[in-house]
Structure 1
Amino acid sequence: MTPPLIIAVPKGRILAEAVPLLQRAGIEPEAAFSDEDSRALRFATSNPGIDLIRVRAFDVATFVAHGAAQLGIVGSDVLAEFDYSELYAPVDLGIGHCRLSVAEPAALAATDDPRGWSHVRIATKYPHITRAHFEARGVQAECVKLNGAMELAPLLGLAPRIVDLVSSGRTLKENGLVEVEVIAEVTSRLIVNRAAFKTRTEVVPLVEAFRRAVDQTRAA
């Protein structure tokens, strides 16, 4: 018997936006999937050939790249940070809109000019993207790797600047920080394990179902 396809979906803010797309693609998750207080990690769906797993956003790409899941939903920021050759990203889902930005304390920004930087010390969970961005400008970036609470780094002297995802900008503002540069606009993508794309016949129709779901969402 062929095992079910597994789709990895991130916890957090993208989850609520992903559920309507899943439904439009013909995948109705069991009720517990949308309950963020649920301790379960694997969930059944209305399609007996498809299960969902709910994991951290950064782990979605890893599960799919290594074949533990065949498909996933993940931000373009994560894809750029890990750059797994095993992943194929055929559909921009048009959800999870935000941007990856450089931010610093408002007092520093008042007199600072990013065009004059030659060396920066930055706290971020995106060291690969950050270094590549600044190297392209001839700027040396010293990255301090953090997994969360990025806004504390400038406040406590760990690093004067951060690179992090920004949506409304409210968190930055509440911590006295301002954006000074946008590195990339971010949306969520449907990703597929390349080997599964070639060997599991159910994958291609499922990718097309997601494409139609995105088109329907845009037309609504």
Structure 2
Amino acid sequence: MSNILTIAMPKGRIFEEAVELLRKAGYKLPPEFDDSRKLIIDVAEEGLRFILSKPMDVATYVEHGVADVGIAGKDVLLEEERDVYELLDLKISHCYLAVAGLPDTKMNEVAPRVATKYPNVAEAYFREQGEQVEIIKLNGSIELAPLIGLSDRIVDIVSTGRTLKENGLIEYERIIDVTSRFIVNPVSYRIKDLQIDEMVERLSKVV
């Protein structure tokens, strides 16, 4: 069994904040790490291998064991419901999931429709509210749905609220706060527990 620890990380904002956190925790990551376009990056001196992927795929890589650990948003973990352990709230990439739509509009009482890339989260939320809705899954530009009459509401990630505002939408309900979490493959945690516990301990000190 390799003693290299493989970490799945999402590209973009979470990656940048996570790299900064790892450096604060004492991991020596090369400067070119930040600008690399590679999808797999080895940092041999630290015994680490990084897999860079889309945010929604991180938990999948960890669940299937191609990555030992990963950093994923709570939104992804709620939506994907993967078989992974969530060991630490890294308290980075703060945002939240919200229900939004055009101002001064009511939900269609006959066949209310909600567009989102989080169908499981959205369905669970509206079920808890006692509302039966039709979920329309979209992969991007969720804000477009109410503007073209595809849906009454959207469920999406909100960071600053700027995108909603620029598209003439308002927030109706806040569902849950989201931060990035350190997740682990259950089998890896048994085999590489010392390495993983060390990483968790070092990160805990700088979170």
TM-score by length of 2: 0.92
Q: What do the CA deviations read for 1:19-53 (whole angstroms, capped 9, x no partner)?
A: 11111223233333312xx4310112264411112
Pairing partner for 1:96 from 93, 98, 121: 93
Do the aligned residues in 2 keep the contact of 1:30 with 1:44 (CA within 8 Å)? no
Pairing partner for 1:171 from 152, 163, 168: 163
Do the aligned residues in 2 keep the contact of 1:104 with 1:180 (CA within 8 Å)? yes
Is the partner of 1:168 in helix, strand or coil? coil
1:196 is aligned to 2:178: no
Match of 1:105 in 2: 102
Cα distance, 1:92 vs. partner?
A: 0.5
Match of 1:59 in 2: 57
Q: Mind listing any 5+ residue stretches in structure 1 that lack a counterpart?
A: 215-220
Amino acid at match of 1:135: R
Cα distance, 1:209 vs. partner?
A: 1.5
Cα distance, 1:205 vs. partner?
A: 1.4
Match of 1:152 in 2: 144
Rate the CA distance shift 1:117–1:4 in 2: closer, same or farther, 3 A.
farther
Identify which range, 174-183 or 156-165, moves more after superposition. 156-165
Do the aligned residues in 1 keep the contact of 2:42 with 2:49 (CA within 8 Å)? yes
Match of 1:24 in 2: 24
Cα distance, 1:119 vs. partner?
A: 5.5
Count of aligned pairs between the two proteins? 206
1:125 is aligned to 2:122: no
Match of 2:14 in 1: 14
Amino acid at match of 1:75: G
Q: What do the CA deviations read for 1:79-105 (whole angstroms, capped 9, x no partner)?
A: 111111x21111100101001000001
Q: Mind listing any 5+ residue stretches in structure 2 that lack a counterpart?
A: none
Rate the CA distance shift 1:190–1:88 in 2: closer, same or farther, 3 A.
same
Runs ≥4 in structure 1, deviation > 6 angstroms? none
Could you say what the CA RMSD is over the residues aligned between the two structures, in angstroms? 1.9
Identify which range, 160-169 or 41-50, moves more after superposition. 41-50
Q: Identity, % of aligned pairs? A: 47
Q: What do the CA deviations read for 1:6-26 (whole angstroms, capped 9, x no partner)?
A: 111111221221111111223
Do the aligned residues in 1 keep the contact of 2:28 with 2:46 (CA within 8 Å)? no
Rate the CA distance shift 1:69–1:118 in 2: closer, same or farther, 3 A.
farther
Do the aligned residues in 2 keep the contact of 1:130 with 1:141 (CA within 8 Å)? no
Match of 1:186 in 2: 178
Match of 1:210 in 2: 203
TM-score by length of 1: 0.87
Rate the CA distance shift 1:29–1:50 in 2: closer, same or farther, 3 A.
same
CA distance in 2, matches of 1:117, 1:43: 51
Amino acid at match of 2:156: D
Amino acid at match of 2:142: M
Do the aligned residues in 1 keep the contact of 2:40 with 2:51 (CA within 8 Å)? yes
